[in-house]
Amino acid sequence: MTRISFPDDFIWGVATSAYQIEGAWNEDGRGISIWDTLSHTPGKIMNNDTGDVAADHYHRWKEDFDLLSELGVHAYRFSVAWPRILPQGAGAVNPKGLDFYDRLVDDLLRRQIEPYVCLYHWDLPQPLQDKGGWPNRALVNDFVEYARIVTRRLGDRVKVWFTHNEPWVTAFVGHFLGEHAPGWKDLGAAIRALHHLLVSHGLAARAIRAEAKQPVQIGITLNLNPVYPASDSEKDREAANQVDMMMNRIVLDPLLKGTSPISESTMASLLTGKLIQPGDLETIRTLDILGVNYYSRTVIKHSNKIPFINVEQVYPPGNEYSGMWEIFPEGLYVLLKRIQEEYLAPLGDSVPRLMITENGVPVPDGVDFDGQVRDERRIRYLRNHLIQLHRAVQDGVAVKGYFHWSLLDNFEWAWGYSQRFGLVYVDFKTQKRVVKNSGRWFAEVVKANGFATD
């Protein structure tokens, strides 16, 4: 029998985000976020689903934390809803919002589960959107102030903080592709938004370090996909390079190299006025943890379909697909090796800790006659990705932890409730939870710190 084992101090966890699970959208003084606005606009979300109730975690968090204990995870990554803390985005603080997260942190610690707190997982308070949202540089200060307020309350107990989850998605899916809130289709706005998100990361990191009552680790989680050319032709390879720059290097370079990969001429053609202010790139480059969210790869060919962009995504036939993406475990290995060689190795000793902060799959599943959820495809996905992760560790990439996305089935943004990512099944009519077979399998892996591969 062949077994793989992870390093002794390897951290196993699961992740969630506020809007996707909490519900209670208008309770206890919570303000309105851009996702309330988008999901309440008919036609924007599949089946017109909203996060109004979601998995009702705001009321059922104790039951959900029992599930964390049952899975045996060492850490739990969750996000704080900015509109619960500052209903107007800035100004008056809502004490009930802070009390909620305070209770979560205490209960996690009581269970010996390390809280990994993410400050921004896309639920921008609507009043800040009304002032221009992330494309407006003024938002940076609002975010820093919000980070300060949350740290003042939780910073005596929370040691691990993430500023942003997937800033690329906030910027590009929200401001260029228009599929996420605020639903814009403006490439220049997306680039502005991304730069301001990154600057706010750097300044919030400083604020968190200053306010916390103990040494803290500050991270950011990035959605990263290895980009493959559809063929070996020069045009396809160039197209794949362009997409790699716009999806991966655009976040990795500023955070880890202190440079921007966007040429001055591209900036000038898309933006009016200077975007990158003196000192910005130094501010952005501060990181104790690099969180990698890996789901799939992107295959690209040259195409004239979309002017200016000249690229098109293709889906190679014969491969395995989920409800949303191609399933490509080897991409995780390729990505980790690249991060190590191109970004971490040159940093010498001041290298951030590398963690997989999200990985998971939306495949159809359901409760069988005997009450079990036999999600064999998710188990296979997990197993194959962990094998690739282990391969990277064996090859010298110091990955320190793995967080599965997600603990619970939840509101999958523009896809509503049509996609299920949980290790725990949620019946959204009754809110009954059922641990899936994948959840049981994962719990075994956590307990044994590894598994048999045959």
64 lies in the site for ligand IFM, by CB under 6 A: no
- Non-local CB neighbours of 47 within 8 Å, separated by 6+ positions: 416, 417, 418
Query: Residue 6 is encoded by which pair of tokens?
Result: 């992870």
358 lies in the site for ligand IFM, by CB under 6 A: yes
Residue 44: CB minimum distance to ligand IFM, A: 17
Which amino acid, residue 133? Answer: G
Quote the longest CA-to-CA distance of the chain: 63
280 lies in the site for ligand IFM, by CB under 6 A: no
17 lies in the site for ligand IFM, by CB under 6 A: yes
Exposure b/e, 97-126, CB count within 10 A at least 16 = b: bbebbeebbeebeeeebbbbbbbbbbbbbb
Closest to 441 in 3D by CA, of 373, 368, 364, 370: 373
Nearer to ligand IFM, 280 or 358 (CB): 358
Total residues contacting ligand IFM by CB under 6 A comes to: 7
What gap in Å lies between CA 144 and CA 138, rounded to an integer? 11
Q: x/- contact string, 141-170, with ligand IFM (CB under 6 A)? A: -------------------------x----
Residue 235: CB minimum distance to ligand IFM, A: 30
What gap in Å lies between CA 252 and CA 336, rounded to an integer? 13
- Selected from 64, 288, 365, 412, the binder of ligand IFM by CB under 6 A is 412
Nearer to ligand IFM, 300 or 361 (CB): 361
The catalytic position among 166, 234, 238, 342 is: 166
Q: Where are the beta strands (DSSP E) in 16-159?
A: 75-79, 114-120
The catalytic position among 22, 114, 358, 412 is: 358
253 lies in the site for ligand IFM, by CB under 6 A: no
Query: Residue 262 is encoded by which pair of tokens?
Result: 């966007």
286 lies in the site for ligand IFM, by CB under 6 A: no
User: What does the chain come to in residues?
Assistant: 454
322 lies in the site for ligand IFM, by CB under 6 A: no
> For residue 395, what is the DSSP state?
T
What gap in Å lies between CA 191 and CA 276, rounded to an integer? 11
166 catalytic? Reply is: yes
376 catalytic? Reply is: no
123 lies in the site for ligand IFM, by CB under 6 A: no
- Selected from 120, 405, 425, 451, the binder of ligand IFM by CB under 6 A is 405
**Binding stretches for ligand IFM (CB under 6 A):** 17, 20, 166, 293, 358, 405, 412
